[in-house]
């Protein structure tokens, strides 16, 4: 449904036009499944420019330093990070409300985000273990970012009638951090003396950042130094009134959830991760060479990124299991395993049997979590949106595991 008529988009269009941006290719719309996005106003051909946003529309550290915050940033030691500069500007401008020159853009930004750092602890506890650990790291990182920035925020008191503690609260900074983390486009690194040495590569791109992600499309996106615009060209074709997508990268669903707060249905890059603990769960505890085998896998980078995918267990997972399943008399063949050679039919069959047991274990675990989520959705209405998101992640993982189980069954049939 076209949303161009809504007041916030009318104001945004006026604001963008004043900054030399006009666009006839795209229009804001609401779509089933993805929500708010951009719709093609005309058919778009392969290689065609989707959008060209002038530099004057981008919110960068240059924008911040040229603003009323510039003098405070320049004199603060040690120099603030580029991320802190952007976040401070967002919080300050949001607080300014109608007085903000960026009000039309701020009005269309999400009021809240669904990255794990924003979820309730009891919802985070429902995430897959590997994602839960990363979510907790993310939360600790943002909390440290806030704690280490409070003295800088205090230095801004002369700019505000209200106490800065009430303006630059943890929730306000979290909102700004998520805005930059989920919506920024990449610029070539720049270095400024008044900012820390951390890469200054982020820019917020009003209107352009309404484009949603699809893993099935490819685009060419970059800042054009000649036209001084951020440009996106499509390598796909779009019919009139279709939703136009860009690709944030070949990310699996856990990465998309962690960084952007959503899950992509039928994502070809989606996978289920196998931890070291689960890897050895069904191996004989009497294997005296197990520690040595684990050490070899670790030394050669085969203890991480072991996965089940739509096509079955990954080559890395099967290779790790083949090495772990080596019989004592075949142990000296471990280098051949890493090179992809077949050691014996017995080793191949044992490997597939163990892979299937691990796959069935995950299916059972996933079904149990989905049942728990379903019960919580009935009992905790306030968490419904968060729980639905977690449910979609586990549902996609269950589809992958079932596909992997079918593949393993077919492979095993070859040995009977």
Instruction: Determine if residue 3 is left, alpha or beta; phi over 0 gives left, psi from -120 to 50 gives alpha, anything else beta.
Output: alpha
Residue 34 has pLDDT above 90, yes or no: no
Q: What is the pLDDT of residues 282-338, one digit of tens each?
A: 998 888 899 999 999 999 999 999 999 999 999 999 999 999 999 989 999 999 999
Q: What is the pTM of this model?
A: 0.92
Q: 54 with 27: CB under 8 angstroms?
A: no
Read off the tokens for 75. Answer: 């004199």
- CB neighbours of residue 278 within 10 Å: 16
DSSP 8-state secondary structure symbol assigned to residue 79? P
Strands (E), 115-226: 185-190, 200-203, 212-213, 219-224
Residue 61 has pLDDT above 70, yes or no: yes
Q: 274 with 301: CB under 8 angstroms?
A: no
For residues 316 and 274, what is the distance between their CA atoms, to the nearest angstrom?
Answer: 11
Q: What are phi and psi of 302, to 5 degrees?
A: -110, 25
Query: CA angle, corner 298, sides to 297 and 299, nearest 5?
Result: 95
* Arithmetic mean of pLDDT, 45-57: 93
For residues 203 and 211, what is the distance between their CA atoms, to the nearest angstrom?
Answer: 15
Q: What is the pLDDT of residues 86-128, one digit of tens each?
A: 999 999 999 999 999 999 999 999 999 999 999 999 999 999 9
Tokens 């505000």 belong to 160
For residues 65 and 1, what is the distance between their CA atoms, to the nearest angstrom?
Answer: 39
pLDDT band at 412 (very low <50, low <70, confident <90, very high): confident
The share of the chain scoring above pLDDT 90, in percent, equals 87
- CB neighbours of residue 81 within 10 Å: 19
Tokens 């596909």 belong to 403
Q: Helix or strand or coil: residue 237?
A: coil
Return the H-helix or E-strand segment holding 175.
Answer: helix 170-183
Query: CA angle, corner 336, sides to 403 and 275, nearest 5?
Result: 45
Return the H-helix or E-strand segment holding 231.
Answer: strand 229-234
Q: What is the mean pLDDT of the chain?
A: 94
For residues 278 and 282, what is the distance between their CA atoms, to the nearest angstrom?
Answer: 8
Q: Which CATH class is domain 32-260?
A: alpha beta
The share of the chain scoring above pLDDT 70, in percent, equals 100
pLDDT band at 416 (very low <50, low <70, confident <90, very high): low
Read off the tokens for 341. Answer: 């050679």
For residues 125 and 351, what is the distance between their CA atoms, to the nearest angstrom?
Answer: 32
Q: 26 with 209: CB under 8 angstroms?
A: no
For residues 327 and 347, what is the distance between their CA atoms, to the nearest angstrom?
Answer: 8
Read off the tokens for 194. Answer: 């008044």
Q: What is the pLDDT of residues 190-243, one digit of tens each?
A: 888 899 999 999 999 999 999 999 999 988 999 999 999 999 998 888 999 999
Q: 64 with 86: CB under 8 angstroms?
A: yes
| Diameter over CA atoms, the chain | 79
Q: What is the pLDDT of residues 245-255, one digit of tens each?
A: 999 989 999 99
The per-residue pLDDT for 4 is 79
Residue 3 has pLDDT above 80, yes or no: no
Q: At what angle do helices 82-96 and 170-183 cross, to 10 degrees?
A: 120
For residues 268 and 399, what is the distance between their CA atoms, to the nearest angstrom?
Answer: 12
* Residue 65: burial class (beta carbons within 10 Å; 0-12, 13-18, 19+): middle
The per-residue pLDDT for 245 is 93
Q: 278 with 320: CB under 8 angstroms?
A: no
C-alpha distances in angstroms, 233 versus 59, 171, 219, 223?
21, 36, 6, 12
The per-residue pLDDT for 189 is 87
Measured in Å, how far apart are the chain's first and last C-alpha atoms?
Answer: 55
For residues 186 and 202, what is the distance between their CA atoms, to the nearest angstrom?
Answer: 5
Domain ranges of the chain: 32-260, 272-414
* Arithmetic mean of pLDDT, 153-179: 97
The per-residue pLDDT for 320 is 96
The per-residue pLDDT for 284 is 86
């Amino acid at each position: 449904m076209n949303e161009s008529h809504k007041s916030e988009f009318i104001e945004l269009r006026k604001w963008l036009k004043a900054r030399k941006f006009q666009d006839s290719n795209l229009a804001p719309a609401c779509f089933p499944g993805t929500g708010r996005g951009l719709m093609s106003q005309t058919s778009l051909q392969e290689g065609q420019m989707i959008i060209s946003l002038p530099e004057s529309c981008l919110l960068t550290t240059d924008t911040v330093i040229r603003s009323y915050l510039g003098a405070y940033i320049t004199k603060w030691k040690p120099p603030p990070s580029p991320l802190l500069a952007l976040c401070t500007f967002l919080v300050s401008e949001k607080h300014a409300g109608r007085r903000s020159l960026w009000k039309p853009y701020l009005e269309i930004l999400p009021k809240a985000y669904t990255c794990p750092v924003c979820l309730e602890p009891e919802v985070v506890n429902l995430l897959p273990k590997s994602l839960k650990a990363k979510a907790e790291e993310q939360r600790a990182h943002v909390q440290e970012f806030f704690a280490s920035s409070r003295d800088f925020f205090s230095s801004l008191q002369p700019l505000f009638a209200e106490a800065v503690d009430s303006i630059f609260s943890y929730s306000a900074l979290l909102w700004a951090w998520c805005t930059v983390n989920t919506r920024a486009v990449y610029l070539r690194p720049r270095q400024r003396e008044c900012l820390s040495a951390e890469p200054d590569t982020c820019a917020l791109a009003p209107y352009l950042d309404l484009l949603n992600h699809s893993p099935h499309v490819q685009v060419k996106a970059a800042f054009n130094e000649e036209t001084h615009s951020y440009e996106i060209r499509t390598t796909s074709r779009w019919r009139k009134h279709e939703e136009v997508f860009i690709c944030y990268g070949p990310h699996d669903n856990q990465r998309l959830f962690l960084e952007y707060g959503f899950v992509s249905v039928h994502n070809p890059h989606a996978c289920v991760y196998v931890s070291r603990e689960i890897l050895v769960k069904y191996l004989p505890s009497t294997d005296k060479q197990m520690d040595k085998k684990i050490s070899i896998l670790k030394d050669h980078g085969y203890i991480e990124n072991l996965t089940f995918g739509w096509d079955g267990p990954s080559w890395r997972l099967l290779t790790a299991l083949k090495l772990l399943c080596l019989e004592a008399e075949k142990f000296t063949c471990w280098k051949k395993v890493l090179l992809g050679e077949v050691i014996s039919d017995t080793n191949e069959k044992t490997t597939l049997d163990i892979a299937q047991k691990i796959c069935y274990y995950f299916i059972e675990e996933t079904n149990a979590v989905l049942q728990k989520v379903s019960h919580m959705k009935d009992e905790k209405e306030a968490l419904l949106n968060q729980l639905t998101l977690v449910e979609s992640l586990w549902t996609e993982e269950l589809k992958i595991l079932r596909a992997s189980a079918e593949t393993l069954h077919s492979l095993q049939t070859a040995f009977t």
